[in-house]
Amino acid sequence: MQNNTASAVSEDTFDLAEDTQRGKFLTFHIADEDYGIEIRYVTEIIGIQSITDVPDMPDYIKGVINLRGNVIPVMDVRKRFNLPEKAYEERTCIVVVNVDDKTVGLVVDKVNEVIDIPDGQIEPPPRTKAESGQYIQGMGKVEDEVKILLDVRKLLYSEDLEQMTKNSD
């Protein structure tokens, strides 16, 4: 009986942790737009650092970094969206995310804040033929602004990135 209770408690704790992160998004700035990703995928935010180039990768995969002994691939979200490149500066950050046990760093112009966006304030993404449109999960309405909410899984999916995360495990 005790094992069942312990199991139920740990499941409740997991559900509670999932529930407390529901509707929370880390917002960041790229070019002239504000974007958001679900906070549950974010493991940490670090300042920009030296990125080791990896040959024969698409231009949006900047290379790899050594994060406390773990080699992780780094994607420049600007380049993923086919936006013009911008020199990294003091506010440039790497948002480290973990999806399906794969860790990847996302380079963004600057991190803003964590905000709550209830499901009722999220609208479906507009239909667009632009390649970057496939990465949009929805449009979050926050006061008089709109935040573009990204689908992290779709953003990270690429055969090249898949290969790099397998090699770094």
Domain ranges of the chain: 20-168
CATH class of 20-168: mainly beta
pTM of structure: 0.81
Structure tokens at 43: 């493991």
For residues 123 and 135, give the distance between their C-alpha atoms in angstroms, rounded to a whole number. Answer: 15
What's the mean pLDDT in 40-46?
A: 97
pLDDT (0 to 100) of residue 13: 45
What are the distances in angstroms from CA 148 to CA 64, 65, 121?
Answer: 27, 27, 12
Pick the closest to residue 25 from 136, 116, 125 (CA basis).
116
Looking at residue 92, its amino acid is T
pLDDT (0 to 100) of residue 157: 80
Q: Are 75 and 62 in contact (CB under 8 A)?
A: yes
Looking at residue 71, its amino acid is V
46-91 pLDDT, tens digit each:
999 999 999 988 889 999 999 999 999 999 999 999 999 999 999 9
What are the distances in angstroms from CA 152 to CA 10, 36, 103, 119?
Answer: 27, 10, 12, 17
- Phi and psi for 82 in degrees, rounded to 5? 60, 35
Q: Are 64 and 52 in contact (CB under 8 A)?
A: yes
pLDDT (0 to 100) of residue 21: 75
Question: When comparing pLDDT for 98 and 134, which is higher?
Answer: 98
3-24 pLDDT, tens digit each:
444 444 444 444 555 567 788 9
